[in-house]
Amino acid sequence: MADIISEYEDKLPAKIIGDIKNSIPKGISDSKLKKIMEAVYGEYKTAKVHPGESVGLIAAESIGEPGTQMTLNTFHFAGVAEMNVTLGLPRIIEILDGRKELDNPMMEIYLKKPYASGKKIEDLRHLALQIRETKLKDISTEFTISIADFTIEVKLDREKMKEIDVTTGKVVDSISKQLKGYNIRDNRESLILKARSKEDSFNESYKTKEKIKEITIKGIKGVKQVLPVKREEEFVIITAGSNLADVLQLEEVDAYRTTTNNIFEIEQVLGIEAARQAIVNEIFKVIESQGLNVDVRHIMLVADTMCVSGTLKGITRYGVVSEKSSVLARASFETPIKHIINAALVGEVDNLNSVVENVMINQPVPIGTGLPSLAVKLQKAAKEK
Amino acid sequence: MKKQKFKVDKHILTPKHLKLGEREKAQLLEKYNVTSKELPKILKIDAAIKELDVKPGDIVKIVRKSQTAGDAVFYRVVADV
């Protein structure tokens, strides 16, 4: 029995073979199994996409048509804290354009055992605070510049420091790490910063004052908000702001399930294949949340196209479209004059291998029945005679 | 905060990446009747193949977990940056 099934392993997808294995009755005779496999294989062959089918066009229609029914707004996240999520059409456009800066970057941080169960709420809260970025301006009440000697005085808020569990020493440490050329003195009430170089001006001090406000004292850079949420049986931390590379380093985090909605970041940290999977997941999530129904295969095709070149390319005139070999195809998308002029300047040749350019010059397009043509290997044919 | 070591290939989003040997490579190109230049690319510095010890021109076999087909096999050729 096993060898009859294994015969089809190359011909059928693994999932179909698994389905057959699960549904055939025990002790089935070899001849019947053979018949079943043949019938399944026949069905599978008829379900396959034909060579020359314009799958891209079908994918575009299949995603575009339900797209007209999607919301055009950004919604607030249901929860205690105010958090925005981009949904519907704006989000789809954001993904397909391959944007590096998202409107609402978010992470879903899964946690390891003792934290995920949520039994020790105190620990979970503590961890969440460790992840959220705290800037110097969040734990200080006042920044002043002394005009007499150009020193900057930072008054610290003791209560807030206690809340997030940092000491003055730590604050001094992180400032001196991120700001070079300044001496820091701690006089209980506040921190006094003085430039080491003697040529100092009010302007310079003012610039530094603005700069130190943004210094990260604690937490992960870029994470603006944290929100622990119960999902099924475990607690997950959802964040506004994303920094995947740094979060995955944390010991308490289940790094292998933690993700972000910033696909560009996924490409950097996890590679191009992970980015492709993330595109599929993110688009599918949006379409599903809007109550629409689009086959994943269309989305997979788009995701594949965006990732063919090894780096993430959006479907814009700078991304996927700029990779097209045909001048006319590029010109038909956006900024036609620019493309035609540039092509004329360098003497580009258009081989008319694809669809758009052939439509333009009124020729049969190489899809469907227009694709096949006769080919004879002349040399080989002559030799055989 | 303590730090942990992170292995890219264990993440749920990353499929398995395998390097093809010279013979398998020839068989693959023969089977699909393509040259290695026509295959989709993967950058040499890609995070997922850092530990595979590949050079430009090698072919990487990728076994994706697919929603529709179970396991789906995909090939990428390693490209210079």
Q: What range defines the domain where residue A191 resides? A: 134-218
Residue A34 lies in a domain: yes
What digits encode the pLDDT tens for the residues B52-66? 889 999 999 999 998
- Alpha carbons A301 and A57: distance in angstroms, whole number: 11
- B11 part of contact set with chain A, CB < 8 Å: yes
What's the CA gap between A107 and B10, in Å, rounded? 18
Q: How confident is the model at residue A166 (pLDDT cuts 50, 70, 90)?
A: confident
A256 in any annotated domain: no
Task: Point out the domain boundary residue: A180, A198, A218.
Answer: A218
Q: Which of B11, B67, B74 sits opposite A274 (nearest CB)?
A: B11
Confidence of residue A18 (pLDDT cuts 50, 70, 90): confident
| Secondary structure (DSSP) of B2-35 | -B----GGGSTTPPEEEEPPHHHHHHHHHHHT--
Picking from A188, A218, A248, the residue at the C-terminal end of a domain is A218
Look at chain A and report how many structural domains it folds into: 3
pLDDT digits (tens, 9 = 90+) for A116-164: 776 777 788 888 888 888 888 888 888 888 777 777 888 888 888 887 7
Residue type, A8: Y
Angle between helices A272-289 and A55-67 (to 10 degrees): 40
Q: What pLDDT was estimated at residue A141?
A: 84
The pLDDT-based confidence of A198 (bands split at 50, 70, 90) is low
The verdict on residue A280 lying in a domain is: no
pLDDT tens, residue by residue, A324-372 = 889 999 999 889 999 999 999 999 999 998 889 999 999 989 998 888 8
- Report how far residue A302's alpha carbon sits from residue A305's, in angstroms, rounded to the nearest whole number: 5
Strands (E), chain A: 74-76, 84-86, 106-110, 134-135, 140-145, 152-156, 182-186, 190-195, 216-218, 225-231, 234-240, 259-260
Contacting residues for B40 by C-beta, under 8 A, at least 6 apart: A304, A307, A308, A309, A310, B74, B75, B76, B77
Q: Which of B2, B8, B76 is the closest to A270 by Cβ? A: B8
Which of B8, B41, B66 minimises the CB distance to A271? B8
| Residue B63, φ and ψ in degrees, nearest 5 | -105, 100
Q: Please check the confidence at residue A207 and state whether its pLDDT lies above 60.
A: yes
Residue of A nearest to B65 (CA): A277
Closest CA of chain A from B79, distance in Å: 8
Over residues A77-97, the mean pLDDT reads: 77
Q: Which residues of A touch B42 (CB under 8 A)?
A: 271-273, 310
At residue A76, does pLDDT exceed 60? Answer: no
Facing residue for B6 by CB, picked from A130, A248, A309: A248
At A266 the pLDDT is 94
**What is the pLDDT confidence band of residue A303, given thresholds at 50, 70 and 90?**
very high
**CATH number of the domain enclosing A344:** 1.10.150.390
Q: Which residues are registered as beta bridge partners of A7?
A: none
Residue A115 lies in a domain: no
Residue percentage of chain A with pLDDT more than 70 = 95
Residue type, B37: K
Contact A270/B47, CB-based, under 8 Å? yes
Domain definitions of chain B by residue range: 15-79
- Residue A166 domain flag: yes
Confidence class of residue A258 from pLDDT cuts 50, 70 and 90?
Answer: very high
In angstroms, rounded to a whole number, what is the distance separating the alpha carbons of residues A331 and A342? 11
Q: CATH number of the domain that A183 lies in?
A: 3.30.1360.140
Looking at per-residue confidence, does A256 or A200 come out higher? Answer: A256
* pLDDT of the residue at A73: 66
Report percent pLDDT > 90 for chain A.
30
pLDDT bin (cut points 50, 70, 90) of residue B69 is confident
Within-domain flag for A128: no
Tell me, yes or no, whether A100 lies in a domain. Answer: no
Whether residue B79 lies within 8 A of chain A, CB to CB, comes out as yes
Rounded to whole angstroms, the Cα distance separating A24 from A232 reads 34
- Closest residue of chain A to B50, computed from CA coordinates: A271
Q: Which CATH class is domain B15-79?
A: alpha beta
Note whether residue A177 is domain-resident. yes
Q: How confident is the model at residue A295 (pLDDT cuts 50, 70, 90)?
A: very high
Q: Does A162 touch chain B (CB under 8 A)?
A: no
A164: enclosing H helix or E strand = helix A158-164
Residues of A in contact with B17 (CB under 8 A): 271, 273
* Strands across the sheet containing A140-145: A140-145, A152-156, A190-195, A182-186
By the CB < 8 Å criterion, does B3 face chain A? yes
Query: ∠ CA A47-B62-A43 to the nearest 5 degrees?
Result: 15
